[in-house]
Structures are given as C-alpha cells and as structure tokens.
Amino acid sequence: MFDRLIHRWLRVPYKLYVHDFQTPKQPRATVVLIHGIGSSSAMWQRVVGRRRIDKTTRVLAVDLLGFGNSPRPHWKTYDVKTQVDSLVATLAQQKVDGRIILVGHSLGALVAVHAARYYPSLIDSLILCSPPLYHPQGKDRPAERQLRALYQKIIDKPALGKVIASDFAKKYKLFNPGFLVDESNLPIFLDTLDAAIINQKALTEIAELTMPVEIFYGQFDPVIINKNLRKLAKQKHIAVTKMLASHEIDKRYGQVVAQAINRHAIGDDYGQA
C-alpha cells in the first residue's frame, strides 16, 4: 500500500538495480549500459569483461523496470517514458555527473534515445546496438507493419510469446545471456513489447538529436529495418556500422562495442584485442 502511494499516486519514479562494473575515483566519463527486453545487466559482461574498458571510465549497468533485480510493479505501463523516469532518478541517486554516455541494446537503445531527447543536457553521446527503429504507426512501411503484426500475435497469444522468448529466440540468437522470461514476468514482457516497441517514436526522436550517435547492427538481425538505418546514416552526427552478426551481442560484437565506448569516453581504442 505504501509502495503504491509513493510511486503511483505521488508519481515518484522507482529506482533501478545498478551493477557497478567499475568506478574510478575521478572518472573521465560515465558509461551507462541499458539492456534489451527480457534481459538484465548480466548481458553486458561480453562487452566490459576482460578489462576492455579504460580504467578511468566509470561503468554502470542498470536493470530496467520489470526485469532483472529491479522492481516489477504490475500496475505500471512499461513505455520508454516510464523507463527513462526511473533511469534519470537512478543516475541522480548514484551521483552520476560529468560526461554521460548511454549504451543501449534493442529496447535499451529506444530508452537511450528517449532519454537523450528529453534530457539533452545530461547526455554526451549515444551508442545504440541492434536498435529496432520504426516509423510511428500510421506512417510505417510494409516491413515495419509485418514486424508489428508479429509482435501483436505474441501479445495476443501469450503461449506463443513464451515459445518465441525461449527456444526459437535462442536458436536464432535474438537474445543475450541474462535473458529470462517466465510466468513471473511474462505479463511485463508483453506490456513492454506493446508500449515501448510497437508504440514507439524513436525514429522521429533520434532525428531530432544533435549529439554524436553511433549505431551498430547485425546483417542477419530479423528485427532491424536496414532502410531506416541507412537513412539515419546520412545525418552528420550519426554513424552506422553493419556487422556480420544477428540481434544479440556475441563475442566479436562485444569487442566492437567496447572499442566504441573507449572512443566516446576517452578518444581511444583501448582494449582492442
């Protein structure tokens, strides 16, 4: 009851679980890692493991609301605004200041874009991995409508959602280590799919940004619309790189993202090997 009073009626954002990978005494920049749908901060080990990130950079990974070790309120709408409200409140709690670089995978990329759009003074740059960037509904293209129709089938038939989120997804490398969807969080997974991915405005929002944005995606990623990313690449502040990969961040993908983090944080390719 008290929890609902504070967070529902007084609209105080929930604080997210934070995994502190490294915090130097005087960080040159802070990197905040944001996972994808159904996953958790554990997925970033492939990126930050083996001391790939320069030791002068602070590295934090959050569990988004509803996933991992973060709160799972069942009355919330799990759209990107809700996630960003909790993200910003959590960064304040962690006393994060100075240069902030957001690194998001899949859903996390959409959250990062929304945060940068509405809190531009806080964010220095973005690194987006496998971002499912679509036009708003009503203006979407045939390929986007097909993906939205698939997502809607998953929502309408939760049993299908469980299959997609387990064997099929693992077989085709759609999700990273740390991905977990079961009876306890399936409703949140489906609500997030609807509110944050089907009903998104990220493609419009990212075009309005002026900060540096670097995008990575896999050639064999089934949820990416290549044409949208090629169009974004024409903007001066956006760089797009296609890799031999699928949706998840595998070992090589992780190495490339680590190099990008070091470029954004210290202007270096530290830890390239």
Structural contact between residues 220 and 245, judged by C-beta atoms closer than 8 angstroms: yes
Closest CA to 103 of 57, 142, 61, 134: 61
Instruction: Report pLDDT for 165.
Output: 59
Assess whether pLDDT exceeds 90 at residue 28: yes
Counting DSSP H helices and E strands in the chain, the numbers are 11, 7
pTM: 0.92
Return the closest-CA partner of residue 37 out of 59, 17, 63, 19: 63
Domain range 2-266, CATH class = alpha beta
**Terminal Cα distance for the chain, rounded:** 52
- What's the chain's average pLDDT? 90
- Render pLDDT for 80-108 as a digit per residue (tens, 0 to 9): 999 999 999 999 999 999 999 999 999 99
Q: Give the pLDDT of residue 172.
A: 55
- The burial class, CB within 10 Å (0-12 / 13-18 / 19+), for 258 is buried
Predicted pLDDT of residue 12: 85
Show the tokens assigned to 136: 């708003």
Does the pLDDT of residue 185 top 90, yes or no?
Answer: no
Residues 175, 39 contacting (CB under 8 angstroms) = yes
Is pLDDT larger for residue 169 or for residue 205?
205
Q: Judge whether residue 206 has pLDDT over 50.
A: yes
The alpha-carbon radius of gyration of the chain (Å, integer) is: 18
Choose the weakest-confidence range: 18-22, 74-78, 117-121, 198-202: 74-78
- Which range has the worst mean pLDDT, 8-12, 88-92, 157-161, 258-262? 8-12
Predicted confidence at residue 140, as pLDDT, reads 86
